[in-house]
Chain A
Amino acid sequence: MIDVLEPYIIGRGGGGKGLLFRRGMTMILKDILALVNGELLTPEMDLGIECPGIFASDLMSDVLTFINPGFVLLTGLINSHAVRTACLTDVTAIVFVQGKRPDMKVVDEAREKNLPVISTGLSMFEACSKLAQFFPEHPQ
């Protein structure tokens, strides 16, 4: 486990130099928040959860069909269906892209379901490219 733990410590230590990430390190929600320069809309939630992968789509039909449990969902869809779909498919967190912010009602529903939600000003493409290098490809 040393090869995982070592970059883990370096990655989060930072020593005032900001976060350092390495390919192959185990990503937690806090890392994803930092990488997309996001704002956590549910501040009280635990960011220490491990994220095995990312799935990006605006189409909830595709999320329901193809997402793996535990993944983080990147989407531009900010209605309550995104939250419900995420909850039913065991998603770890939602990142809303393109600076979109859901209504307070939607955020409240996510909070009730214990689902962290993040908003980032990055586009879907930018967010995906920032995150892609840290996640191996997942064959469907």
Chain B
Amino acid sequence: MREDASFQQDFLIKGGDFTGAGKVSCEIKNLLKELGLSSQVVRRVAIAAYEAEMNVIMYAWEGRFNLLITPQKIRIIVEDQGPGIENIDLAMREGYSTATEEMRELGFGAGMGLPNIKKNSDRFLITSEPDRGTRLEMTILTNGQRPQ
């Protein structure tokens, strides 16, 4: 990839679509693998993307992923229309969850999603407006070689 080259793609995610959950993250993972990025970087992006995708499916009505790939970084902006998050500090706390019983039966909703996105990102921003939606921005540097 040239220094100034970049690639962008948008993905739409429907709230409540548990059947299709993970499809977008798998697509992103395959794309990054094809580009030959290191497996640690690909894995971190895949995990962060899946957590974000599940959050849209579980809590929002609709969401849009904007993926940007440059030689230096991978950035995903997730914007959803949904109930938003009233208290972001609380939502960022490990173990805090507003998931329903149904979500927990599917193996999710343990309150680890947002902290895990932050853990896997080199840069993480979150803003939310109650009754409007939530915006996440996660950036992972392509040269990032974090310990496992």
Which residues of A are at the interface with B, using a C-beta cutoff of 8 A?
A: 58-65, 68-69, 77, 79-82, 84-85, 87-90, 113
Contacts and interface: CB of A to CB of B under 8 A. Distances in A.
A64 B22 contact: no
A133 B110 CA distance: 29
B108 interface: yes
B119 A90 contact: no
Nearest to A57: B107
A59 B22 contact: no
Contacts of A88: 22, 25-26, 29, 43, 46-47, 50
A105 B21 CA distance: 15
A61 B109 contact: yes
A84 B46 CA distance: 11
A119 B69 CA distance: 39
B112 A89 contact: no
A69 B51 CA distance: 17
Given A88-B26, A90-B43, A60 B148 contact: no
14 contacts: A59-B107, A59-B110, A60-B106, A60-B107, A61-B116, A65-B112, A69-B43, A77-B106, A77-B107, A84-B26, A87-B22, A88-B25, A90-B39, A113-B26
Nearest to B115: A65
B82 interface: no
Contacts of A61: 107-113, 116
A11 to B, nearest CB: 27
A117 to B, nearest CB: 16
Interface of B: 18-19, 21-22, 25-26, 29, 39, 43, 46-47, 50-51, 106-113, 115-116, 119, 148
Contacts of A58: 107
B116 A64 contact: yes
B47 A89 contact: yes
Given A59-B107, A61-B108, A65-B112, A81 B47 contact: no
A65 B108 contact: no
Given A69-B43, A89-B43, A62 B22 contact: no
A69 to B, nearest CB: 6
Given A64-B112, A65-B116, A68-B148, A84 B107 contact: no
Of the listed residues A58, A59, A61, A89, the one surrounded by the most CB atoms of chain B closer than 10 A to its CB is A61
Nearest to A69: B43
B43 A64 contact: no
Contact of B119 (A59, A65, A87): A65
Given A69-B148, A84-B26, A88-B47, A79 B112 contact: no
Most buried by A among B18, B50, B115: B50
Given A61-B108, A77-B106, 16 more contacts: A59-B110, A60-B107, A60-B108, A61-B113, A62-B112, A64-B112, A65-B112, A65-B116, A77-B107, A80-B22, A81-B107, A84-B26, A85-B50, A87-B22, A88-B26, A88-B29
